[in-house]
Structure 1
Amino acid sequence: MDTFAYLARRTLQALIVVLLVTVVVFGLLHALPGGPARGILGPQASAQQIADFNHEQGLDRPLPVQYLRYLNTLLHGDLGTSYTLNESVSSLIGQRLPKTLVLSLLSALVGLLLAIPLGMWQAVRRNRPADYVITALSFVAYSTPVYFLGLVLVLVFTQWLPWFPSQAPQGDTLGQVFAQPNALVLPVVAGAATMVAVFSRYMRAATLENLSEDYVRTARAGGSRPTAILFRHVFRNSLTSVIAMLGYYVPVLFGGAIVVEQLFNFPGMGLLFWSAAQSSDYPVLLGCVLVISVATVIGTLLADVVQRLVDPRVKAGETA
């Protein structure tokens, strides 16, 4: 019953945050220089053209009425129309978002599969030369800009060692993307590098904290093997902090995807956002911002739910 009440409260909080996100995006749309009409019609539009556009789109109505209308269109899946591509923003995002999700999920999966055992290994060998070396490499990876790392990967693995293509998979469908797995390697590595650096540090700290707990000393005194203690008890308890941070890492993944997709010419939402920014295509920009914000809210909600399931000791107020 407590778990159900917790889930209901977190879901309600997520819905409130999503509603606030729509308010912010609506405000950004109306904060454009000259308003939405000027942004869409361009700087050469006359005052009469702007007035006609505002009347046609209902932008001359009171702001509360406009917001309710905007909210209604969102509920119907309408994010507006791109005035440079002359296509609905929902359609554009629908075509690009699955590819970005694939790239982000693969990067996250590779990052976690490397970071979690690496962090535990460092904790077990705390203050040894290997720990110092990996810590130094983690700080270097964390401080290296994604675009610079991507350029290094391209230079090394497409020029000096021609193992992989310099471009990510090109195609309109996920089937076409997966048909070129070797072309996914460099974008995934570029997206996963920072995640390995960050989450290995979290896992190391969490493992060290759990290794100093009383239950570990009790298990050792009872004759349990160190590997059994590490994997049966410490591993699971250490995962809770990593899971909690994973939800908050969603916007970082999407932010990195913008750079990675532009660098490797991957036809995902990040490249769409980059192109829209260059052409001042505000409906596409705000549509992408809205989707990324909602994805962040959903990611944090799922992380809290999984954390609650993994560790029932987590109280509702501790992860809010």
Structure 2
Amino acid sequence: MTGFLSRRLLQSLVVVLLVTVIVFILLHLLPGGPARALLGPRATAVAIENFNHRMGYDRPLPVQYWDWLTQLVTGNLGFSVKFNQPVVSLIGERLPKTLILTVLSTVLALIVAIPLGMAQAVRRNEPTDYAITFWAFVFYATPPFFLGVVLIVVFSVYLPILPAEAPQSSSILVILSQPAGLILPVLTLSLLTIAQFSRYMRSSVIESLAEDYVRTARAKGADERTVLVRHVLPNSLIPIATLLGLSLPTIFSGALITEAVFNFPGMGQLFWTAAQTQDYPIMLGITVLVGVVTVLGSLLADLAYAVLDPRVRYA
């Protein structure tokens, strides 16, 4: 396990380094360069020259990359042109709000999807299985913005019982004190995730039910509930652990479309605003952060496989 962990950490560092190279190249591939992108199309040649000299863009690219990488290591992700703030402070302000939204939706999805997937597997090819499969496909194929709008129309217009807008505050305590405003955005994300997780859970449980240890447990006289809870469920959760690891980028970066629909002040809305205003330091900073979290999620998923599945052996 130690050797495997060391190799995976080394691979992760290489991938993160490649992500920084790609992001740095994208910055310099902007039409007209970073100066033109940040100053606008009407900037004069003198203004662009002064900007490049002040920001160090007139130096050799390897030198620029090394300086940019050392700043990244120290936590400096650049400076936002629109908000006139460091990108790190903006991310630090928005990230806790996004974590509230995405973690709540992920936990709710797990609570609902795991029993649904097991029920489908136990009642395979029965009306219950067909009904859950139908709705899972419907929600999985529905775009997030459309689902959010439908929920707003139903629960905020025709049945005005929930607010159409998420809580608007810079304080986490204020957001948590308004749970009604979180219901629709959390439900929008949860319905999409439930559809995905339940399908994986169904397939995993069906595969586990055909294993020898299940037949052995039944032959020893174990009732169906004991077989499902003590034997089938732990082994069937392995694919879900992988999905959770691969879901970390979404949890940290925020649901861009959902946050925009409900005007939720999180990471997704921050990226949306930066894209509309061409605030490239924010977009590149969030891209680097999501790349690092993606690599971390993949590493955690591999470790979860090694811990949860005794059949897996890493040479």
Within 5 A, what are the aligned runs for 1:1-320? 3-252=1-250, 257-316=255-314
What is the TM-score of this pair, normalised by structure 1? 0.94
* Higher mean displacement: 244-253 or 286-295: 244-253
SS at match of 1:166: coil
* Contact 1:146–1:256 (CA under 8 A) maintained in structure 2: no
Summarize the Cα distance change of 1:90–1:255 in structure 2 as closer, same or farther, 3 Å threshold.
Answer: closer
- How many residues were matched structurally? 315
What is the TM-score of this pair, normalised by structure 2? 0.96
Alpha-carbon distance in 1 for matches of 2:314, 2:98: 32
Deviations 1:232-253 (A, max 9, x none): 1110111111111222233455
* Contact 2:121–2:203 (CA under 8 A) maintained in structure 1: yes
Alpha-carbon distance in 1 for matches of 2:77, 2:178: 32
Alpha-carbon distance in 2 for matches of 1:311, 1:290: 32
CA shift for structure 1 position 298: 1.7
Deviations 1:29-81 (A, max 9, x none): 11100111111111111222212221221111121111111101111111111
Summarize the Cα distance change of 1:316–1:16 in structure 2 as closer, same or farther, 3 Å threshold.
Answer: farther
CA shift for structure 1 position 255: 6.9
Q: CA RMSD in A?
A: 1.5
CA shift for structure 1 position 254: 6.0
The runs of at least 4 aligned residues of structure 1 exceeding 3 Å deviation read 250-256
CA shift for structure 1 position 224: 1.4
SS at match of 1:82: coil
Alpha-carbon distance in 2 for matches of 1:316, 1:31: 41
Instruction: Give ranges in structure 2 of 5+ residues lacking alignment.
Output: none
Alpha-carbon distance in 1 for matches of 2:190, 2:254: 9
Instruction: Give ranges in structure 1 of 5+ residues lacking alignment.
Output: none
SS at match of 1:136: helix
Alpha-carbon distance in 1 for matches of 2:18, 2:7: 17
SS at match of 1:164: coil
Alpha-carbon distance in 1 for matches of 2:117, 2:254: 22
Alpha-carbon distance in 2 for matches of 1:254, 1:91: 15
Task: Give, as a single letter, the amino acid of the residue that structure 2 aligns with 1:21.
Answer: V
Identity %: 54
Summarize the Cα distance change of 1:273–1:55 in structure 2 as closer, same or farther, 3 Å threshold.
Answer: same
